[in-house]
Structure 1
């Protein structure tokens, strides 16, 4: 266990977990349920931290802390995840394109191995 300062109020406390004191954590728990209900009741809204804080009349730092702790995921906060997904999709498309272009032909490695070890490559 180590002594840390609360991320929100600056009060010192001992913890092995998040850097939020028990008092602030209780406030965040209450805010989490309010935010969850608000998001559930308004599914078509795409909110960022500031907009959600304004809608709940809460401190934006508290809402941001919920996002940082992984308890909330908002539209503006997960752009990095969307970028990595699109990068994966892009690589998948390139791989599929390469497979179509090769047409199932054996690679030069397979041919080399067959020649080196004296085995005839199997014809498909």
Structure 2
């Protein structure tokens, strides 16, 4: 189908009315927008997409999400990553604290064994008195 300017217009028919672009195709279009003398609107028009879509892909590219998608990596929101990193830090702190408590208790048990206080304790299992 053509219009008055002799431009070719693609008409999508059938149940699938949206085109699917691979991550490589999106990245190529985004890179094209950074070429000298090219605008987002111009590149969008050349490829038959809405400029807003191309602006969105540029934003994803600047955030690193578009390249992560092309590399097959999972993309998560920055807030979710920040929350996960905070949780990791807190868990590492707690693990360090528990490790220190464990070492203190081991030393206490050794001291008590050396003084034979533990062997005399009737409350410990295995002691026959």
For the superposition of Structure 1 and Structure 2, which TM-score range results when normalised by the shorter chain?
0.3 to 0.5
Bigger Rg, which one: 2
Structure holding more strand per residue: 1
User: What TM-score results when the alignment is normalised by the length of structure 1?
Assistant: 0.35
User: What TM-score results when the alignment is normalised by the length of structure 2?
Assistant: 0.34
